[in-house]
Amino acid sequence: MRFNFVTIFPEIIKFLEFGVIGKALEKDLISINEYNPRDFSKNSNKNIDDSPYGGGEGMVMMAEPLASTLKSIKNKGKVILMSPQGENITNFHINSLLEESTVTIICGRYEGVDERFIENYVDVEMSVGDFVLSGGEIPALALIDALSRKIPGVLGNQKSFENDSYENNLLKGPVYTRPQNFEGMEVPEILLSGDHEKINDWKILSSLQRTIDRRPDLLDSVKLTKKQKKLLDNLLSKRIL
Ligand code: SAH
């Protein structure tokens, strides 16, 4: 997958040079090209912002440098503006964006972006949550990371994301590693039993239990196997009693 990263702080992309995403970049499983709207500013100070019409606080990113930046990108794919006013990103958005071979991600700054640029150039506005950050770069990094880890070959074991939280609308249950006893707390015995079927049942159960406890809203749209459904009914009936 190819990412076009439109930002006035292109150095921020260095945050992705670590861990599995860093390896994906090295292996060319993903590529990221930075575009700085300052390079497309027509004024001598390389300004890309100006004060808002009608007054008010802060500055607004001008439409022109952003439009020229986008015009310079040959293969844009889907054009996404990171914005607190956009759709909150869920696993559903990640899965549908994975069908694109290229995405262009625009990072706003200051009070945001001139609305006319959004109308003419942006396909979709996306948010990382109902709060405001000072720039779109961290949301863009989150989006690139979430997409990249689902690209075949990026995670060592392809199955590792298939059991992640939000795959199939369930949260993943708790996980444990050595030592067996930590500050007097034991690892659940079943995980030490070596009985793969029982361990698998335990994992399904703990994932269902965690979803009931923390995100019961997810259960409305979950698609369960027969086994999962039986275990869920069991858990729910115990809860009601
Ligand atoms: N004044 C605007 C917020 C501007 S924040 C408002 O009240 O709606 C500056 C930039 O940070 C935005 O243009 C956007 O690109 C980015 N940003 C801030 N919060 C974000 C969020 N929750 N999700 C995605 N991008 C965000």
pLDDT > 80? residue 239:
no
Kindly give the pairing relationship between strand 102-107 and strand 2-6: parallel
pLDDT over threshold 70, residue 241: no
Q: Which of 55-59, 205-209, 235-239 has the lowest mean pLDDT?
A: 235-239
Residue 4's DSSP bridge partners are 33, 104
Catalytic member of 39, 50, 100, 111: 111
DSSP letters for 26-60: HTTSSEEEEE-GGGG--STT---EEPPTT--SS-E
Pocket of ligand 1 contains residue 109 by CB under 6 Å: yes
Which pLDDT belongs to residue 204?
94
pLDDT in tens, 97-112: 999 999 999 999 999 9
pLDDT, tens digit (0-9, with 9 covering 90-100), for 188-214: 999 999 999 999 999 999 999 999 999
Residue 49 belongs to what H/E stretch?
strand 49-50
Instruction: Find out whether the beta carbon of 143 lies less than 6 Å from any atom of ligand 1.
Output: no
107 lines ligand 1 (CB under 6 A): yes
- Which contiguous run of DSSP H or E holds residue 6? strand 2-6
pTM given for the model: 0.96
Q: Tell me how far the alpha carbon of residue 132 lies from the centroid of ligand 1, in angstroms.
A: 5
The count of C-alpha atoms lying within 13 angstroms of the C-alpha of 203, restricted to the half-sphere facing its C-beta, is 14
The predicted-structure confidence for 211-229, as pLDDT tens digits, reads as follows 999 999 999 989 999 988 9
Domains of the chain (ranges, CATH numbers): 2-148 (3.40.1280.10), 165-238 (1.10.1270.20)
* CA–centroid distance, residue 131 to ligand 1 (Å): 8
Predicted local confidence at residue 240, as pLDDT: 57
pLDDT digit string (tens) for 68-91? 999 999 999 999 999 999 999 999
